[in-house]
Amino acid sequence: MVTQIVRDADRTGTGRTGINLTGARSVSGDVLEVTGLGVEYVTDGDPVRACAEVTFTLRRGEILGVAGESGSGKSTLITALTRLQRPPAVTTAGSIVFHPRDGGPAVDLVAASPKELRALRWTSLSIVLQSAMDALNPVMRLGAQFADALRTHDRSLSRDAAWARAAELLATVGISGDRVRSYPHELSGGMRQRASIALALACRPELVVMDEPTTAVDVVMQRQILAQVLRLRRELGFAVVFVTHDLSLLLELADRIAIMYAGRVVELGTADEIYDDPRHPYTRGLRDSFPPLRAPLRRLTGIPGTPPDLRRPPSGCPFHPRCALRFEGCDTHLPELVDAGGHAVACRLYDAADGGMADVGLPARTADGTEGRAERRIEDGIERRAEHRTEGGAR
């Protein structure tokens, strides 16, 4: 898969030297191709290598979850993808190639100018931040904020029409349209979060990047928001990069999941693969850190130790100080993310060239995988609840 990604990037003719290198129209089924992305924070001492060699693709309409412990580089990745990063963050390597829906030229966001990025924001690419208050202006009514975004990209839209559209958008996330006249502080935290999702969708973007959008709300509201995201995704067809430290949530929501550790993607697979057949010892530790919903209770194992300091990451495999399966050379050899039958993993256990032993005792949680499939049905449950709410009117 990884080599395929690189080949595809080459074929589009896009790269670090500029946008639309070939002038060719994009024909890719992917909306985003991230290749070899590196981001560092420049400090007085050693730089913080917050993202290193991050490579993945995002398909049209797909939800890609990104999970990892605190400090693993998730937010750094999000701000790099949206080009919203500020100093001391610096993109040191790689490309982020965006393929427009209309088949227009592919754009390398890393090399794009501020003007080109402005043209893409809201209409093609939007973001939902972890704190809704960071996204909403506290001194503007909701309607005015929506109208600003809508009219920036459609000058012909009248003020009244923009406010009417704002009310419609709020209704799609279950907020009464008359709330357009409210200020953000007059809404509950969950309403603010949903309003910021509606704002991100205002200009019908092709890609929405969400950084922990449900962290600040209770679990009931979290489920409602996720169900609305799934419903809107189905109706509007946008792709999502959804970042969270909560792997169990992604198992419900995401089509595929990337696991980050120490700024690197260490495993990438479908949600079923990540749950039923996690290959990286870190992914197994994350999965086994939350209780199964439908199986007998068991002792949670967790992950010993703490995440590394990214100013001085461990030599070799960055997970080796915490890995119960490390073997000779893990402290000196950095494993690459390599394809393993469409399921990519960066662990020497799976690298044949490294003397890997893929079957050294990493069984799926259940022999026949039935437990995993049962868990996966949760997503169907969310979809059904979303449909139910749609039929009964959004709340």
Ligand X SMILES: Nc1ncnc2c1ncn2[C@@H]1O[C@H](COP(=O)(O)OP(=O)(O)OP(=O)(O)O)[C@@H](O)[C@H]1O
Reported for 146-152, long-range contacts at CB under 8 A and 24+ positions apart, including other chains, are 146/170, 146/180, 146/198, 146/199, 146/202, 149/122, 149/199, 149/202, 149/203, 150/202, 150/203, 152/122
Q: Which of residues 245-304 bind ligand SF4 (CB under 6 A)?
A: 280-281
Pairwise CA distance, residues 252 & 194, whole Å = 19
143 touches ligand SF4 (CB under 6 A): no
> Number of helices (H) and strands (E), helices first, in the chain?
12, 12
Q: How far is the CB of 295 from ligand X (least distance, A)?
A: 27
Q: Which residue is nearest to Mg ion (CB)?
A: 75
What is the residue-wise DSSP string for 245-297? S-HHHHHHH-SEEEEEETTEEEEEEEHHHHHHS--SHHHHHHHTTS--SSS--
Q: How far is the CB of 14 from ligand SF4 (least distance, A)?
A: 32
Among the listed residues 347, 362, 382, 386, the single contact to ligand SF4 using CB under 6 A: 347
Q: How far is the CB of 71 from ligand X (least distance, A)?
A: 4
Q: How far is the CB of 200 from Mg ion (least distance, A)?
A: 17
Q: How far is the CB of 213 from ligand X (least distance, A)?
A: 12
Pairwise CA distance, residues 179 & 132, whole Å = 16
Among the listed residues 63, 241, 330, 338, the single contact to ligand SF4 using CB under 6 A: 330
Which residue, 43 or 315, has its beta carbon nearer to ligand SF4?
315
Which residue, 74 or 179, has its beta carbon nearer to Mg ion?
74
Given a contact cutoff of 8 angstroms between Cβ atoms, the answer to whether 52 and 26 are in contact is no
Q: How far is the CB of 227 from ligand X (least distance, A)?
A: 23
110 binds, among ligand X, ligand SF4, Mg ion, none (CB under 5 to 8 A by kind): none
94 binds, among Mg ion, ligand SF4, ligand X, none (CB under 5 to 8 A by kind): none
Which residue, 49 or 194, has its beta carbon nearer to ligand SF4?
49
209 touches ligand SF4 (CB under 6 A): no
Q: How far is the CB of 193 from ligand X (least distance, A)?
A: 16
Given a contact cutoff of 8 angstroms between Cβ atoms, the answer to whether 35 and 229 are in contact is no
What is the residue-wise DSSP string for 345-376? E--GGG-GGGT--TTSS---SSTT-HHHHHHH
Pairwise CA distance, residues 171 & 165, whole Å = 10
Pairwise CA distance, residues 308 & 322, whole Å = 10
Which residue, 71 or 318, has its beta carbon nearer to ligand X?
71
281 binds, among Mg ion, ligand SF4, ligand X, none (CB under 5 to 8 A by kind): ligand SF4
Which parts of this chain interact with ligand X (CB under 6 A)?
41, 43, 48, 50, 68, 70-76, 88, 245, 310
348 touches ligand SF4 (CB under 6 A): yes
Q: Please, is 158 exposed, middle or buried when counting C-beta atoms within 10 Å of its C-beta (0-12, 13-18, 19+)?
A: exposed
Among the listed residues 231, 326, 343, 365, the single contact to ligand SF4 using CB under 6 A: 326
Pairwise CA distance, residues 144 & 150, whole Å = 10
Which residue, 75 or 124, has its beta carbon nearer to Mg ion?
75
Backbone angles phi, psi at 338, to 5 degrees: -120, 150
Site residues, ligand SF4 (CB under 6 A): 280-281, 317, 319-320, 323, 325-326, 330, 335, 347-349
